């Protein structure tokens, strides 16, 4: 065989070998990017440390802050996702607050929200207290800002009213009462974001002095106070929300009456 033909055969063999290798999947493995974000609730009162798969580093987050972790996933990770463990510690103490395992899928983005609040008694991942989309979860408290601090304890009676006229108590919704010290939170409770007819609604409260048994009044005929929780279009409350509402009791237009203002924070 001529040398020229030998060279040609060697070249052809190399090409065939290379094509065969490609067909067997010997390309460099595909890689995909994914993102995990951990957000600390604005209501947190403690700085937190986040560890991904047990690794510490520059991972401190304050209230309202966030930390992002990018992942590169190889092709063999994409069938079921890559499992990763997220641990939350009280910063500077080594005290474990909560941890969880999540699966990171290819080309995905996921956000986890955490809270550490001594005041609210809430610590951990907020996914643990998720709210159905047809409901609103609330905790209520009152503050006594009267000049004489007349109300260290009050009974709060909650009703849910239909927002559309005529306003009336929707008996199919909630009718709850709690006796609280000032700034004491109620247990968490849920209200429907709409009544059974699909109408928007709002939450009202009555205040009763547990010592005298008297219902506190805004005027001679008004004993109902708005809580600010209203689900009508254009308001701030929607299905799936979880919030803390503070009802501040103030001196009214005379010694016989009170006023009430409301503030809230969502988790």
- The string of DSSP letters for 181-199 reads ETTPPPPPEEEESS-TTS-
Which pLDDT tens digit goes with each residue over 10-48?
444 444 454 444 444 555 557 778 888 999 988 899 999
Please report the beta strands in 21-94, taking only residues with DSSP state E, as ranges in sequence order: 31-40, 48-52, 60-61, 66-74, 82-90
CA distances from 14 to 3, 17, 21, 121 (A): 17, 5, 11, 70
Instruction: Tell me the CATH class for 31-128.
Output: mainly beta
Residues of the chain with CATH 2.60.40.1120: 31-128
Hey, is 214 helix, strand or coil?
A: coil
How confident is the model over 191-212, as pLDDT tens digits? 888 766 677 778 899 999 999 9
Predicted confidence band at 232 (pLDDT cuts at 50, 70, 90)? Answer: low
Distance CA(31)–CA(33), nearest Å, equals 7
Q: How many CB atoms lie within 10 A of CB 84?
A: 16
At residue 211, the pLDDT reads 93
Would you say the pTM of this structure is higher than 0.75? Answer: no
Q: What is the average pLDDT value for the chain, to the nearest integer?
A: 81
pLDDT band per the 50, 70, 90 thresholds, residue 56: confident
Coil/strand/helix, residue 17: helix
Q: What is the CATH number of domain 135-266?
A: 2.60.40
CA distance 61 to 93: 14
Ramachandran angles phi, psi of 202, nearest 5°: -145, 155
Q: Which two tokens stand for residue 230?
A: 């209203």
As a whole number, mean pLDDT of residues 247-255 equals 95
């Amino acid at each position: 065989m001529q040398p020229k033909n030998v060279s040609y055969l060697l070249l052809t063999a190399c090409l065939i070998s290379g094509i065969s290798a490609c067909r067997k999947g010997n390309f460099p493995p595909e890689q995909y990017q994914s993102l995990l974000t951990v957000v600390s609730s604005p209501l947190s009162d403690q700085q937190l440390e986040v560890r991904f798969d047990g690794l510490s580093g520059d991972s401190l987050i304050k209230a309202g802050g966030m930390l992002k972790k990018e992942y590169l996933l190889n092709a063999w990770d994409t069938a079921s996702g890559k499992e990763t463990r997220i641990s939350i510690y009280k910063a500077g103490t080594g005290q474990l607050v909560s941890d969880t395992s999540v699966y990171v899928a290819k080309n995905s983005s996921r956000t986890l929200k955490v809270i550490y609040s001594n005041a609210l008694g809430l610590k951990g991942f907020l996914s643990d207290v998720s709210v159905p989309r047809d409901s609103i979860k609330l905790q209520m408290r009152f503050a006594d800002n009267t000049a004489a601090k007349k109300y260290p304890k009050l009974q709060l009676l909650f009703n849910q009213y239909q927002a559309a006229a005529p306003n009336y108590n929707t008996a199919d919704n909630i009718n709850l009462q709690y006796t609280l010290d000032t700034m004491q939170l109620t247990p968490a409770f849920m209200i429907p974001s709409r009544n059974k007819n699909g109408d928007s609604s709002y939450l009202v409260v009555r205040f009763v002095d547990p010592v005298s048994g008297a219902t506190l009044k805004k005027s001679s005929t008004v004993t109902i106070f708005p809580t600010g929780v209203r689900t009508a279009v254009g308001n701030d409350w929607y299905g799936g929300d979880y919030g803390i509402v503070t009802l501040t009791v103030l001196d009214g237009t005379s010694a016989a009456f009170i006023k009430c203002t409301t503030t809230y924070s969502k988790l």
